[in-house]
A and B are shown apart, each in its own frame.
Chain A
Amino acid sequence: MDTGVLLHLLSAWLFCMGLLAICVRRNTLVMLMGIELMLNGVNLSFVTFAHELQQLSGQLQVFFVITIAAAESAVGLSILVNVYRNFGSIKTDRTQTLRG
């Protein structure tokens, strides 16, 4: 198996792990980390493709993703701080107010 395929598999693995973390963990902090993991999986995929296709645009895209990921975690963490102040917890099963 050559490096390209391995790298693709790794990026898919990272993405799926992130998704899994979001779907199963109740801790919102860990969910945020899952999102970061997914974004980095995608980044890896971008870089790999850029390398394979010999095109810079893939690597360029990664910078955008990193920037947005930074902004997203800043916003997400500040929301978490407010959620903690309001509910006294950041577990998703404690922060439900809708009556389904």
Chain B
Amino acid sequence: MSDFVNSNLPLWILLLPLCGFAFNGIVYPLLSRGVSKTSHLISGGVATLAMLASFFFAFSGFRELAAGSGALHTTVYQWVAMSDFSVGLNLQLDRLSSIMALIITGIGSLIHLYSIGYMSHEKGAARFFAYLNLFCFAMLILVLSDNLLFVFFGWEGVGLCSYLLISYWYGDAANADAARKAFLVNRVGDFGFVLAMCMLYAKFGTLAFSQLLAQITPEHATYLTGVAVLLFFAATGKSAQFPLYVWLPDAMAGPTPVSALIHAATMVTAGVYLFARLHFVFELAPAVMTVVAWVGALTALIGGTIALAQNDIKKVLAYSTVSQLGFMFLATGVGAYHAAVFHLMTHAFFKALLFLGAGSVIHACDGEQDMRKMGGLRKALPITHATMLIGSLAIMGVPLFSGFFSKDEILFMAEAMPRGSMGLFAAGSLAAFLTAIYTIRMLRMTFWGEARSGIHGHESPWVMTLPLVVLAVLATFGGFLGVPHELAHAVGLPTHLLGEWLTPVVPVAALDLHAAPISEGMVSVIATALSVIGIFLGLAMFKKTFTLPSAALGKLLEGKYFVDEIYTSLFVRPLYWMGDLIARTLEGRLMQNLGNWMGVGSSWSGDRLRALQGGDLQIFALILLAGLSLIVAISLFWTNV
């Protein structure tokens, strides 16, 4: 399984989005004399075709892997080549990265197609599509690179594109602030990434995954604990985990397709990918992984509760994403990488669907995002309503929809894996229960009941509904890639297709199914019961009103536990204060005076030295003589010593 096949396929997957970026970012604006004159049809069409072609290449790469080769390998560019250290842009398409590449390019193309409709009222859509293509390029580098350095390159690249796209409508100061917040919070996490890379290089002298895998032995466990902590820190930033999740809800300031692609389906799952990719590092630090699991569970609960009280449709989905990412971290924490990647995939399907559906609603309501002003949109938006209902059923874990399989697998692993515990299971189940409630609340506020304001939506054009339908199909049937053992044996379906597929790359600890405290089937029953109770509770609770029964609790949740305020007073204010202090003392006194002194000093010494430049030949000759004598004296002195 470890045979490497040289192939150009990974390069093609990468290059097409880059070409799309070059066209939309450089060529097309030049041709049409200014980015504001570009048409959304041409730029969007090219961008979508680039992504579709990239998806085609990703798919043929997937088929080659399925035919038996271990990994497709390309050396694109040798960046640093020293005697004992070399690093370059080497691409490697193995089973894990092919799944990621399929998700990125597949969902990416759907979202690009959708954006043509969504951005149709926009002037200068080429800028948007250029950023979107650049994002896909960076994200593909992240998953295709065979060394940590270029993973970091992609990691920063997606961060940059996220920044550019959140502040796409930069005319509004709030959007620019949100983008800066996302960038800065991510920077905190990236710091951990850089340090982890330094530590790995210092010890092993390489950053390539295959060489790290070959060199790392259990003896390095203590050293690797530090690396694991730092990498986990990096992942909390990018994947919006507690305590660095605060940027993700604000990131909803960007256009909705961006939220779907970057802040739900792909970029925020980079942390999960990193865990799966470096599983051999993390497995040597079990204490860290237990913390990861608990942080994931905590994040799932925080996100789930806050989503209960939000009134902005995208904010609900954003906190829901935070919560689902918490699920993935919970799974990686207990060592169930397959379950995490499985949930990553199904979540990409149904959350992209939900975001695009929300985008369709917002588009129909002319930019209105407040759910309190919606209601009764079911009749006006039949396709959007049907597809979003499917997405909601999937996220709530209603049996046979994709979320059911992936969420149950995570819940089962949370108690069955050696590092799992009943506490993690309980937290996960509670978060799943909350998911059902807030999703029902969102559906009820948006689509059901009577219209609460004069908004009369209109169904979106086919470019927007087609991706919705495709994603709805995926969200419905995607779960059959990971049917649990007991159910599979009962109905004769293949078990854990995705898990089997990933095993050569990401091996997981063997698990005795019968030794688990709660059996797989029982977990499914409990989870289903919880989501059904959640659905009915949600239906009962939000019949007339959309606020929570307890006003104080509602206020706490609507204020997002006031975490932003706490961060403001803990970090932002002191930083401002320090900045002010430095501006007044160091900058205002020292640096400014230093500049003045330099000016005064040179004009004073210039005054003195001017006397020499009198134009007197004799003085010039004397200076020449003195200089010559000095040189002769020095050279004589040095030859003698």
Write the residues of chain A forming the contact surface with B, with a CB cutoff of 8 angstroms.
19, 22-24, 26, 28, 31, 92-93, 95-98, 100
Contacts and interface: CB of A to CB of B under 8 A. Distances in A.
B618 A24 contact: yes
A98 B613 contact: yes
27 contacts: A19-B625, A22-B618, A22-B621, A23-B618, A23-B621, A23-B622, A24-B618, A28-B617, A31-B617, A92-B616, A92-B617, A92-B618, A93-B616, A95-B615, A96-B614, A96-B615, A96-B616, A97-B615, A98-B613, A98-B614, A98-B615, A100-B610, A100-B611, A100-B612, A100-B613, A100-B614, A100-B615
A100 B610 CA distance: 5
Those 5 A-B pairs whose CB atoms lie nearest each other, nearest first: A98-B615, A100-B614, A96-B615, A92-B617, A22-B621
A30 B618 CA distance: 12
Contacts of A98: 613-615
Q: Determine which residue in B612, B613, B617, B622 has the highest number of CB atoms from chain A within 10 A of its CB, and name it.
A: B617
Contacts of A26: 618
Contacts of B613: 98, 100
Interface residues of B, number: 12
Contacts, number: 29
Contacts of B622: 23
Nearest to B614: A100
Nearest to A26: B618
Nearest to A25: B618
Contacts of B621: 22-23
A74 to B, nearest CB: 19
Interface of B: 610-618, 621-622, 625
Contacts of A23: 618, 621-622, 625
Contacts of B611: 100
Contacts of B625: 19, 23
A36 to B, nearest CB: 15
A24 B616 CA distance: 12
Nearest to B617: A92
A24 to B, nearest CB: 7
Contacts of B615: 95-98, 100
Nearest to B613: A100
B12 to A, nearest CB: 69
A32 to B, nearest CB: 11
A98 B612 CA distance: 11
Q: Determine which residue in A19, A24, A26, A100 has the highest number of CB atoms from chain B within 10 A of its CB, and name it.
A: A100
Contacts of A24: 618
Contacts of B618: 22-24, 26, 92
A19 B616 CA distance: 16
Contacts of A100: 610-615
Contacts of A28: 617
A31 B618 CA distance: 9
B616 to A, nearest CB: 6
Given A28-B617, A96-B615, 6 more contacts: A23-B622, A26-B618, A95-B615, A100-B610, A100-B612, A100-B613
Nearest to B612: A100
Nearest to B615: A98
A28 B618 CA distance: 10
A62 B621 CA distance: 24
B615 to A, nearest CB: 3
Contacts of A97: 615
A79 to B, nearest CB: 12
Contacts of A92: 616-618
Contacts of A96: 614-616
Nearest to A28: B617
B539 to A, nearest CB: 96
A34 to B, nearest CB: 9
A31 B620 CA distance: 13
B218 to A, nearest CB: 76
A7 to B, nearest CB: 21
B624 to A, nearest CB: 9
A95 B618 CA distance: 12
Q: Determine which residue in B611, B618, B625 has the highest number of CB atoms from chain A within 10 A of its CB, and name it.
A: B618
Nearest to B622: A23
A28 to B, nearest CB: 8
A2 B625 CA distance: 31
Contacts of A19: 625
A95 to B, nearest CB: 8
A19 B614 CA distance: 21
Q: Determine which residue in B610, B613, B616, B622 has the highest number of CB atoms from chain A within 10 A of its CB, and name it.
A: B616
A97 B613 CA distance: 11
A92 to B, nearest CB: 5
Nearest to B610: A100
A93 B614 CA distance: 10
A46 to B, nearest CB: 18
Contacts of A95: 615
Contacts of B617: 28, 31, 92
B625 to A, nearest CB: 7
A78 B617 CA distance: 17
A95 B611 CA distance: 17
A52 B268 CA distance: 87
A38 B397 CA distance: 104
B327 to A, nearest CB: 82
B49 to A, nearest CB: 72
A23 B625 CA distance: 9
